Amino acid sequence: MKKILLLSVITLFSLQFSQAQSLPRFGITGGLLNSNVDFKTGNSLLNLVGVNNFAKINSTGYYIGALVDIGVAGNFHIQPELLYGSAEDLSFFYLPVMAKYYVADKFHIQAGPQLNFSSNLDDIKKAIRDTEELLGTNGNVDDVLKTVGVDLGFGAGFDILDNLTIQARYSFELTDRYSGPAGGVLDIKGSAFQVGVAYMF
């Protein structure tokens, strides 16, 4: 499944690149990142004792990375990015491929899929240990926590100058991070909000 999705993204990128009306523009980006992880249970008794609230992670940090803007047709662009984000004891590599559409002269909206690869999930691991202790299903967190997730992102941006853009984006996970013994009643999904600038060369 992951290989098929990655192959689809690469194929889409290659096709759009070959059909691009203008040369791609390369740039760098960075800004503020807010990362949120929700622990959801299907057990009403556990919800009553506050497991969902007990295991909620909300952290603020930063993101940096590189991007490519590819003009495809008229107001339609494709924007692949490679980002690194860090928020306290959480850190991820993000690979979004955003479809951008200019609805006005300098204003665009964007949406698209995103892969995220975790490089540090210590906060989530601690919360899993605490939650599984309540559930009575203690396991090895390194075995039950998936390091790759699939997200959907959407946002907007405004070109302040020809080579300087401000943009904001919200993304949420479509896949469940947890694959442990409590999988029948426990789901772990993350979301992220980022706002920053992009400088094009």
CA distance 71 to 22: 6
Instruction: Collapse the DSSP code of 172 into the 3-class scheme (helix H, G, I; strand E, B; otherwise coil) and give the result.
Output: strand
Q: Where is pLDDT greater, at 124 or 27?
A: 27
What's the DSSP call for residue 100? Answer: E
Mean pLDDT to the nearest integer, 107-132: 86
Nearest CA among 173, 199, 197 for reference residue 35: 173
CA distance 66 to 84: 9
Mean pLDDT to the nearest integer, 117-130: 81
Q: Where is pLDDT greater, at 173 or 47?
A: 173
What's the DSSP call for residue 42? Answer: S
Backbone angles phi, psi at 144, to 5 degrees: -105, -5
Instruction: Tell me the per-residue pLDDT of 162-185, one tens digit each, with 9 for 90 and over.
Output: 999 999 999 999 998 887 766 566
Task: Judge whether residue 77 has pLDDT over 50.
Answer: yes
- Alpha-carbon Rg for the chain, nearest whole angstrom, is 19
Q: pLDDT-derived band of residue 146, with 50, 70 and 90 as boundaries?
A: confident
Instruction: Tell me the per-residue pLDDT of 8-44, one tens digit each, with 9 for 90 and over.
Output: 555 554 554 444 457 899 999 999 999 998 877 665 4
Domain CATH number, residue 157: 2.40.160.20
Q: In 70-121, which ranges are continuous DSSP H helix?
A: none
Q: In the chain, which ranges are continuous DSSP H helix?
A: 2-19, 44-48, 51-54, 122-135, 141-144
Q: Which domain holds residue 74?
A: 2-200
Number of domains in the chain: 1
Q: What is the pLDDT at residue 106? A: 95
CA distance 179 to 145: 6
Query: How big is the chain, counted in residues?
Result: 201
Which amino acid does the sequence have at 182? A
